Every structure is written in C-alpha cells, then in structure tokens.
Amino acid sequence: MNRFHPCDALVAAALVSACAALPGPQCAPPASAGSIDRVYFGHARPDGGEVSDEEFQAFLREVVTPRYPQGLTLVRASGQWRSSDGRVVDERSTVLELAHAASATDRVLVGEIVDEYKRRFRQEGVLRVTQPACVAMS
C-alpha cells in the first residue's frame, strides 16, 4: 500500500518551484508564449450515479464559456483513477483543453473551473495539466 510521506510534499514543492522558474518557449511570429491547460473531468459521482451530458453542458455554458468565450476543445474519453478509499474507479470523462496567455489571471480562471466542478458534482479530485506552449490563431 502506498502511503503519503511528509517528504513527498517537499519534493513536489521543489519540482513545482523549479518548473515555475523555467523560461517560456521561444516562439516564432505570429505565435506568442502561452499555456495549454488540460482538465480531466470524471463523470462518476460518489453516490454511484453519473454526471449527465445535460449537466455537463450546463456546466460548460454557465462556468467554462463565460471564462473562455474565445474558444475551447472538448474530448470525450474514458479513464480510471484510485480514490482515497483505495478503489480503482473506471469512468466516462471529458477532457477540456484551453490555450491561453500564461498569466496569473488565466491560472485563477482555470482554478475556478476546477473548483466549481468539484463542488457542483461532489468530485474528490479533478486532474489539471499545464504546459508551456506557443499559441497563435492563424
């Protein structure tokens, strides 16, 4: 059984700090340095139910689109994860991909999306992956 060790938090903090200090990508015009966030929304609910397509569309319309009206990408997926009680949960999921400026405002906006999904659908966790990217609309 894997257990959390107090040093794990120190290692994670050091890695995050090191990544934050890295320079952004060198982008050729018309691209500029930005970020890509991928957010993985599981549809399984703790009570055994599932977030419906209608509920997810309402979340998209009410929470995501007001923060990113310029555009986004959704990918339907299936995945699995280990819950805090040790169970492996297989579930339908949706991956949200957002390309944006690498700004503090964007970090906050994506964080708000994650927090609201967790609150609204009583999710234990939502995976978020952020990568530096060269972003251009051509």
pLDDT at 103: 92
Q: Model confidence over 22-58: pLDDT tens digits?
A: 567 889 999 999 999 999 999 999 888 999 999 999 9
CATH numbers and ranges of domains, the chain: 25-135 (3.30.70.120)
Kindly write down the DSSP assignment for every residue of the chain, as one continuous string: -----HHHHHHHHHHHHHHHHSPPP---TT-EEEEEEEEEEE-B-TTS-B--HHHHHHHIIIIIHHH-TT--EEEEEEEEEE-TTS-EEEEEEEEEEEEE---HHHHHHHHHHHHHHHHHHT-S--EEEEEEEEE---
Residue 20 has pLDDT above 70, yes or no: no
Q: Model confidence over 98-135: pLDDT tens digits?
A: 999 889 999 999 999 999 999 999 999 999 999 999 99
Residue 95 has pLDDT above 50, yes or no: yes
pLDDT band at 96 (very low <50, low <70, confident <90, very high): very high
